[in-house]
Amino acid sequence: MLLVEDNPNDEELTLHVLRKYKLANRIQIVRDGAEALNFLFGEGNQIPKLILLDLKLPKVNGLEVLRHIKSDARTKTIPVVVLTSSQEDRDLTDCYDLGVNSYIAKPVDFTQFTEAVRQLGLYWLLLNQQASGTARASS
């Protein structure tokens, strides 16, 4: 799994939930859009099973990262879940236009945030069936 998150508190909480419920064996973390693109398309490009993507990122914003992911044959089938504090209709529309698999506004409440991350991990990492083209992917 690739977590693209620039907020240290949200990163820590997301990791805590994923580890507590044993939802991901390997979690890679990048803290800006440029790091995310380098991770996916740079030397030794790594293909995760799932990408949790924040939108409001430094260097390269999340929409641009999403655009690159969904327009490249190597990465377009990777499920991308936008997990963001943005509740702007424009962001939601743009994400779905670009091919996001799911859009979740981060709940402010600790319990609700924990439950949202738990459920998305259960669904995308354990229940969802991926195309064989992503079989080489790692958590």
29 DSSP β-pair partners: 3
Spatial separation of the C-alpha atoms in residues 60 and 56, rounded to whole Å: 9
Q: Is the pTM of this model over 0.85?
A: yes
Tell me the domains of the chain and their CATH numbers: 2-123 (3.40.50.2300)
Helix segments in the chain, DSSP class H: 8-20, 33-41, 62-71, 89-98, 110-121
Burial (CB < 10 A; 0-12, 13-18, 19+), residue 19, is exposed
What was the pLDDT predicted at 133? 55
Residue 136 pLDDT exceeds 60? no
Spatial separation of the C-alpha atoms in residues 16 and 56, rounded to whole Å: 22
Residue 139's pLDDT band, with cuts at 50, 70 and 90, is low
What was the pLDDT predicted at 46? 80
**3-class secondary-structure state, position 47:** coil
Q: Over the chain, what is the mean pLDDT?
A: 89
Higher pLDDT, 106 or 94: 94
Residue 135 pLDDT exceeds 70? no
For residue 34, the tally of other CB atoms under 10 A from its CB is: 16
Spatial separation of the C-alpha atoms in residues 14 and 70, rounded to whole Å: 24
For residue 25, the tally of other CB atoms under 10 A from its CB is: 11
Query: What are 9-66's pLDDT values in tens digits?
Result: 999 999 999 899 888 888 999 999 999 999 999 987 788 989 999 999 999 999 999 9
Average pLDDT estimate for 124-138: 65
Spatial separation of the C-alpha atoms in residues 124 and 51, rounded to whole Å: 10
Contact between residue 78 and residue 51 where contact means Cβ atoms under 8 Å apart: yes
What was the pLDDT predicted at 138? 46
Higher pLDDT, 106 or 65: 65
Contact between residue 77 and residue 133 where contact means Cβ atoms under 8 Å apart: yes
